[in-house]
Structures are given as C-alpha cells and as structure tokens.
Amino acid sequence: MIGGDMQKVAFFVDGHFMRKRIFLFRSFAFRGPNIRSYCARHLQADENFYRIFFYDAPPLERKTKYPSGALLDLGAQPAATQQKALLDSIRETPDMALRLGSANWQNNDWVLKKSTLEKLLQTGSVAGLQDSDFFPNIRQKAVDMKIGLDIATIAYKKLATRIVLIAGDSDFAPASKLARIEGMHVTLDPLGNKVPDDLLEHIDVMHTPLDPNNAADVTPTKKHFFVAPRKTL
C-alpha cells in the first residue's frame, strides 16, 4: 500500500534496450517479477511505485520463406516463444503496465549475421552460405512515441513525483526535458551503456543499480562493457 506521505515513482522501461543489456551482463532471468525487483532497487525509503510502464512489441507471427526458399514460421521460432512468455509475465506482475508497439519487417529484407559478414569480408567468398546465416530485418514501431506520450501525461497531470527512465536513446531527450520543465525529477538508468550528450543534458541524475564488480549483477567476462555513469550525486 502507498501511504499518504510516500512519494510515487513512475518507471518507463524500453524493453528491447533493457533486454539486450541484461542478457549481455547475465544479471537475471528476464521476466516480469525480476524486472520489478530490479526497478525496486531504485526506490528510496520514502518512495513506492506509481507504476512500471514496460514498452516492447509482440513477436512477428507470419509464415514466409528463407532466402533459399525453405519455409519459415516466424511465430514458432524460439525467440518468438520467449518473447510471448516475457510479455505474459509482465501482464501478471504487480505494479507493471504493458505498452505494446508493433514489429515491422523492413521491406522483407534479410540481414547477414555479424559473424557471417566478418567471415565474408575476410574470405571474399559467398560459398557455403546457409539460411542460418541470415535473419529478418525486423524493427519495432511506435514504442518511442508511446514512451514520450506517457511521460508527458504523467508530467502534466502530476501523477508521480519522480521519473526513472531505463533507456539509452537520445530520442527521449525531448520527453525528459518536458518532464523537468513540469517540475519532475528525472533519473536515467542506462544500464551501464554510454549516454549521448543530448540526453544527458535533460536529466537530473544518472544511476544504474548494477555493480560491475559484483558477479551476481555483471558477469566478470562482460564487466568491460559497463560504462561508469557521468551525472551522479
């Protein structure tokens, strides 16, 4: 329960961004309850959740063909199954609200995996390419816009006293600037990622509750990917 003297904190989580960083550091199993527990590490003694807004897109579910012509059911792939399980766990977790954009296959293009591209650049030969060397160029749509609109709504209506933005994209700078103009305190959690200057300018504090020297937070082999925050108390 939120007491009368408790301050309310609204979290805005770029799900795609957070998933990549948590998977990189192997910090925890990426499911609703664990995401909520991570967000709770931001809360101070006199604070409680307003809500954790989690932004992502459902998997693209369609049948198509690989470049070779072999059939592919995107909705039956392990990544799609895992994404659906993640979104279900968000729906079932207290204090969390799911905001969905859409998944869009850009011009039905296929992209070479990084390791395959590096090999091609070294050998100059396309011999031996297989369907497993490609992945569809799928991008999220409308997620950033939804985050910006929700931040504006919370700020204008004074529904919370502080915002925690878990993201790293400079596209969120205008929304952060607006929230601060409306008198809100904005904390940015870039999860150890480098932050662009135009986003840094429009936040109050940068804080990531992961400890790169704690193997439970950041696996030792990945700690060199953790960038120290630049705007702290």
116 within a domain of the structure (yes/no): no
The whole-angstrom separation of Cα 9 and Cα 29 is 24
Q: Which domain holds residue 81?
A: 7-63+72-103+140-225
Q: Report the pLDDT value the prediction gives residue 207, as an integer from 0 to 100.
A: 96
Residue 208's pLDDT is: 97
Q: What's the pTM value of the predicted model, to 2 decimals?
A: 0.88
Residue 184 falls inside a structural domain: yes
Residue 92 placed within a domain: yes
Identify the CA nearest to 205 among candidates 161, 172, 170, 164.
164
207 by Cβ neighbours in 10 Å (0-12 / 13-18 / 19+) ranks as middle
Residue 118 in domain: no
Q: Report how far apart, in Å, the C-alpha atoms of 166 and of each of 27, 113, 119, 147, 176 are.
A: 15, 27, 35, 11, 12
Beta strands 63-65 and 71-73 are antiparallel
Alpha helices in the chain (DSSP H): 15-25, 32-40, 78-91, 114-123, 143-157, 173-181, 197-200
108: in domain: no
Q: How far apart are CA 100 and CA 102, in angstroms?
A: 7
Residue 96, both tokens: 């969390």
The total number of structural domains that make up the chain: 1
- pLDDT at 75 (0 to 100): 85
Residue 126: inside a domain: no
Cα–Cα distance, 2 to 70 (Å, whole number): 55
* Strand partners for 188: 165, 206
Please measure the distance between the N-terminal and C-terminal CA atoms of the chain and give it in whole angstroms.
Answer: 29
CB contact set of 138 (below 8 Å; sequence gap of 6+) = 60, 103, 104, 105, 106
The two beta strands, 63-65 and 162-166, are unpaired
For helices 173-181 and 143-157, the axis angle rounded to 10 degrees is: 0
The answer to whether residue 58 sits within a structural domain is: yes
124 inside domain: no
Q: What is the CATH number of the domain that holds 14?
A: 3.40.50.1010
Tens-digit pLDDT string for the chain (233 aa) = 344 578 999 999 999 999 999 999 999 999 999 999 999 999 999 999 999 999 999 998 888 888 888 888 888 888 899 999 999 999 999 999 999 988 888 777 888 887 777 777 777 777 778 887 787 777 888 889 999 999 999 999 999 999 999 999 889 999 999 999 999 999 999 999 999 999 999 999 999 999 999 999 999 999 999 999 989 98
Q: Residue 30 has what pLDDT?
A: 97
How high is the pLDDT of residue 4?
56
